[in-house]
Structure 1
Amino acid sequence: MNRIAQGLLMVLLGAAALSCTLASDLYLNYVQPAFRPFLVGAGAVLLVLGVIAIVADMRAADGGGREHDGHGDDGHGHDHARGPGVAWLLLLPVVAVFAVAPPALGAYSAATGAAAAPPAEADAAALGDLGTEAAAGEPVEMELQEFVMRAWTDEERAMAGREIELTGFAVPNPEGEGWYLARLQMACCAADAIVNRVLITDEPEPDKDSWWTVRGTWVEPEGDLQAVRDHRIEVETMSEVADPPDPYE
């Protein structure tokens, strides 16, 4: 890999980063929205450095900046302007973005990955007031993460009898009972994602990875809330929706 190839590689990597962040929301499949400025900055720097490297090498070649005697720069057939061949592996991220565009994690990851667990210290107050929407005949819309945490921590059981609206993707239950409405939650990037899910047993299982908005009521368990493995919802209505731009919570 010569210097011009190295410059082109940096240009391609920078263009890939910028295309994922400025031209589309593809980066949301892999990292949190807060990382967008850093990706844009990194892409811009790579692009500029790549252009500078290409221009500098072309000017050096045009101006006869190096003398070639047929044996390389050191007279022994070695060209120190070349980088290691393994550097071509840096093209793989570019190919992945432009040719393959890996999708966001979905049903397979939700079925095999780590599920959210009850918090060590229950703190329902940190979730705030549930609101009064249900009193006006409107469902309480919430993220799956909030639903699961309330189901585990709210000893006052404020969700009991309230109509709840949740949105997520369908995941088969490997144990065979019903199916899950799930959403992946990540702290930093897709590699650390955990699963928030609610078990549905009173509706036919839809296609896996299809997205649904479900309205229903929490199936209130008996006994210790944190001893429940999978919280359930009794479905009143459900409708298929398009994949959201940001699939994670």
Structure 2
Amino acid sequence: MRRETQNILLVLLGGALLKISLTGGYLRYVKPSLQPWLIVAGLVMVALAAFAIVRDIRAGRAVDEHEHGTRSPWMLLLPVLAIFLIAPPALGSDSVTRDRAAAAPAAPSQARFPPLPPGQAPVLSMSEFLTRVVWDDSGALNHRDVRLRGFVVHPTPETTQLVRMRISCCAADATPVKVDLASPRAEELPADTWVEITARLRPGTATEANDYVPTVDPLAITTIPAPPDTYEF
């Protein structure tokens, strides 16, 4: 492949990386703390391409190379086109129902959980809620309404779940955090609908046999827009 083509591809790849880093699109693929590294990587790629272009212009020459092997470098354009034209969405219900095991909550680092936030129905992340369900033996959740946010999944015709994807680094290691919704209204919601629920735990429903997926009774269900960052960490 000609040197000019290599430089153009490098500019496009670096520009695509900068685009998703600065517009927030990177949140579909990696955790927020990686944004500075993505920006640096994009700037380095663009700078290297600019340096090579200036060097070739000053040298006043173009490098001719054989035509064989020119197809594989052009494959680098595919991720660029995907980002600019058809950027993949964040993981949703399809990822949950396609052979993704539930995220087993790890033991908390502290011996006791802090008190629940004040208010009649405090907002908890799905991860915190599930961790408390499995590890908090104080029963603090047994008679307490909480608010949870996530998207709707119908893994079977008889089951409706509220789910949030949790990642450690990027979407490739995502695992779902799930709760079963005991509500006829929830069954009518389309998959991938984002909702906030006010719900109460059914004690003893999260067991090893069901992969520690608790059941809650929703008292209120409100549809909400998908958040800018759909993952938990």
- Which deviates the most, 225-234 or 187-196? 225-234
Measure how far apart 1:122 and its partner are. 6.6
Unaligned runs of 5+ in 2: none
Structure possessing the higher radius of gyration over alpha carbons: 1
CA distance in 2, matches of 1:111, 1:94: 29
CA contact (8 A) 2:113 2:136 kept: no
What TM-score, normalized to structure 1? Answer: 0.84
Cα offsets for 1:115-142 (capped at 9, x unmatched) = 11254x5767465322332xxxx31110
What TM-score, normalized to structure 2? Answer: 0.89
In structure 2, the residue matched to 1:17 is 17
Matched residue SS, 2:65: coil
Closer/same/farther in 2, CA of residues 127 and 50 from structure 1, 3 Å limit? farther
In structure 1, the residue matched to 2:5 is 5
Measure how far apart 1:59 and its partner are. 2.8
Measure how far apart 1:28 and its partner are. 0.3
Unaligned runs of 5+ in 1: 67-72
Closer/same/farther in 2, CA of residues 159 and 226 from structure 1, 3 Å limit? farther
CA distance in 2, matches of 1:6, 1:81: 14
Which runs of structure 2 are paired with 1:1-249 in the superposition (5 Å)? 1-22=1-22, 24-61=23-60, 65=61, 79=65, 84-112=70-98, 113-119=100-106, 121=107, 125=111, 127-133=113-119, 138-174=120-156, 176-204=157-185, 205=187, 206-221=189-204, 226=208, 229=211, 230-249=213-232
Q: Over aligned residues, Cα RMSD in angstroms?
A: 2.4
Cα offsets for 1:139-159 (capped at 9, x unmatched) = 111011111111111111211
Measure how far apart 1:82 and its partner are. 9.6
Letter in 2 for 1:236: L
CA distance in 1, matches of 2:151, 2:35: 25
Letter in 1 for 2:184: E
Work out the percentage of aligned pairs sharing the same amino acid: 36
What is the number of equivalent residue pairs in this alignment? 228
Letter in 2 for 1:41: V
CA contact (8 A) 1:166 1:213 kept: yes
Measure how far apart 1:57 and its partner are. 1.9
